[in-house]
Amino acid sequence: MSLSIVSSVSGGCLADRVIQTWSLSETIFGLAIVLSVYLALVVKILPSFMKQREPYKLKSLLLFYNCFQVAFSAYLVFIYSRYILRYGVITKRCPKGEDLQAVIKEIYPYFIAKHLDLLDTVFFVLRKKDNQVTFLHLYHHNTMVTWTWLHLMYHPTDHFVVVGMLNSFVHVLMYAYYGISSLGPKYAKFVWWKKHLTKVQLVQFVLVTSHLHYQQKLTPCPLPTFFHYFCVSLICSFFLLFMKFYVQSYRVRKERKANDLNVGNKLGEERLLKGL
């Protein structure tokens, strides 16, 4: 484990403020264990377990889980909004010692949240919603966990406060949708805004990419170059994949409906002519 040591003078005495972080190799090793267990569970172990079984409904569990996620995400929005109000959208602080320790304490809830999100996939598999376990789904969850490990364990900083706030706000909406949907078909009318969720996510990616660029440019303590470009590349890949999903899910579907309507109209006209 590597140590970041910051010294300060207090009452005429030299006091060491020690912040412990993991080395890059230690971080990657710990991360690899988490992701390996996750992928083995949702790609191999649970699908094999469910192969000869009926899907679980999990209605009460899902309602509790989604309500908790909404509340937890709202809490994250609160603590990161509070930080932004104190230090600005583009923070120019370089927190050290006790200040950095306070920042790390506020990173921990987001770190925990990204691991709790992995339960989404577990519930999809247990309910045999295999169509939900897509490349986009797995890629998004894996890379977000990777980001938070590098952020917290290897290079803790306050550069990602705006990222955490925006992402947590989107999760409030997303888990609210999941929670209402879990109540059954009769509540479908309350989630008419489902298709707008992807639009909100796309806007989020644009805002986050812009923020990361200007934060790195204006801060007196920039991120390591590889980490900065790793984060920007992830967000750009999210934007492209979510845009593809949006086009395939809504635009193509809309065109198909329009084509089906045209075919139906033509058949109706042919039948009418035949009747005449």
Neighbours of 106 (CB within 10 A): 16
Query: Are the beta carbons of 217 and 180 closer than 8 angstroms?
Result: no
Active-site residue set: 140
Query: Are the beta carbons of 158 and 213 closer than 8 angstroms?
Result: no
Could you give phi then psi for residue 118, rounded to 5 degrees? -65, -20
Structure-token pair, residue 194 = 């489902």
Query: What is the C-alpha separation between 269 and 102, in angstroms, rounded?
Result: 71
| Nearest alpha carbon to residue 140 among 228, 245, 47 | 245
DSSP-assigned beta bridge partners for residue 7: 16
